[in-house]
Amino acid sequence: MLPRMTFASPIGSTSRILIIGASGGIGQACAIAAGNICGMTNVTMLSRAADGFDITNEASVVKHLSALDGPFSGVVIATGGLDIADFKPEKSLRAMTSGAFEAQFKLNAIGPALVLKHISQHLQKDRPCLIAALSARVGSIGDNNLGGWISYRSAKAALNQIIRTASIEFTRTHPHSICVALHPGTVRTPLTEKYVGTHPAVPAATAGQNILGVLGGLTPNDTGQFFDWRGDRVDW
């Protein structure tokens, strides 16, 4: 578990936080957890359901982000999906389709990359700022011992590389930035209910608290890393 630092965290009582994907189970829980820390008036929420924000469409990303009143000390990208349209997680390579790959990469990798491309104008420069995207342990190449779910795994692995690369660029323009990927654990939401089974899982509210707890303990020395909900580093 990451130790608490004697450090001005980007998530505190006076912080301004942006939650992207705030209508989803985990995104909504993160918004509530952030509101408990910062006060709901300091939490800005964007989502497809409430705002028509389409993370996969660059024009929509530009339109909605340019309308925001920054700067923000923290941005959490809580979008993503496992079942997309009619595409389900593949049990083997034989079930793989190009359509599934395209859908997974569009939502789980390209979308967050578009946010990262256009968010820098809204990040505070003179103090620590946080940019975190929800990834998944199954996107870890080193931790893959089961196979399957190839399109989802690959999209999350791509997201991890996007985060790693973006962290380097953000450091050049925002020297106090913290850009990380985060595995929220197995969370009980409508998107995962068909796959949880007997696997240990937590409610979305608990996941939101865990996520904000981990993010609140990070420092610029942690930028470019992949953490789980306990604050432990995950193998790339």
Rounded Cα distance, 48 and 60, in Å: 10
Question: Residue 65, Cβ neighbours under 10 Å: how many?
Answer: 21
The per-residue pLDDT for range 10-47, each reduced to its tens digit, is: 888 889 999 999 999 999 999 999 999 999 999 999 99
Rounded Cα distance, 4 and 128, in Å: 15
Question: Which among 132, 130, 78 is positioned nearest to 107, based on CA atoms?
Answer: 78
pTM value is 0.91
In the predicted model, is pLDDT for residue 1 greater than 50? no
List, in order of start, the domains of the chain with CATH numbers: 17-228 (3.40.50.720)
